[in-house]
Amino acid sequence: MAEVGVSVEDELTARTSEPDLLALHESIADLFATQGDWRRAYHHMRSALDIARAGSLRDPLTSSYNRRYLDQRLPDLPTSRGLAVALVDLDRFKSVNDTYGHLLGDRVLCRVADLLQEGLPPDAFCARYGGEEFALVLPETDHAGAVRLAEAARARVARHRWSELRPGLRVTISVGLAHGRTPGPHQLRRADDLLYAAKHAGRNKIAYQDSESARVVTYSE
């Protein structure tokens, strides 16, 4: 039995991807079950279930959270200081795929997801909303702080050295930022309307509702 424990530790260290770890925990659970060691079998089966659940809440391409995670978390987030939802869309992403191919387009999506997640507060998160759209969720963030975070994300993408992926490549994003205290589908719809306003204003901009009025503000450097 000791030899089994040593080989398990070695293999767990060597194999780190979620699909491999899931299959490994399942096979180890089967092994311990055949040996009558139900406690260890149960432990590894629980680990396999935890990995499977985590994987179902992640986008397989970008490793950011997915729409399912967003829909589950959004209604239960704290809002005492306000909650901001920013919908992010890659500008003219179809032309990136048409010009450089879908494989490079996938690399762009992954890089954008990484850039969006940089500098987020501990409780904030990024989720792939669908296609080339992402959502930044900023709980316990006031209006001014949310605008700063959204603008920082827009600037990071615009300033990134995209030519390192392919000469001539340039990528920007447009952002619709909705701030409030009652999270849910209506806030996502408002963010989507503001995203359209940012696109209509010329792209590579953020659009948000002024906290002192009903005026929609579009902003970029």
Q: Are 89 and 132 in contact (CB under 8 A)?
A: yes
CA angle 210-148-137, nearest 5°?
85
Pick the catalytic residue from 3, 11, 18, 132. Answer: 132
What single letter denotes the amino acid at residue 98? Answer: D
Q: Is 132 annotated in the active site?
A: yes
Burial category of 80 from C-beta neighbours within 10 Å (exposed 0-12, middle 13-18, buried 19 and up)? exposed
CA distance 24 to 21: 5
CA distance 212 to 107: 40
Q: Are 124 and 138 in contact (CB under 8 A)?
A: yes
* Tokens at 163, concatenated: 């030519």
Q: Which residues are catalytically annotated?
A: 132
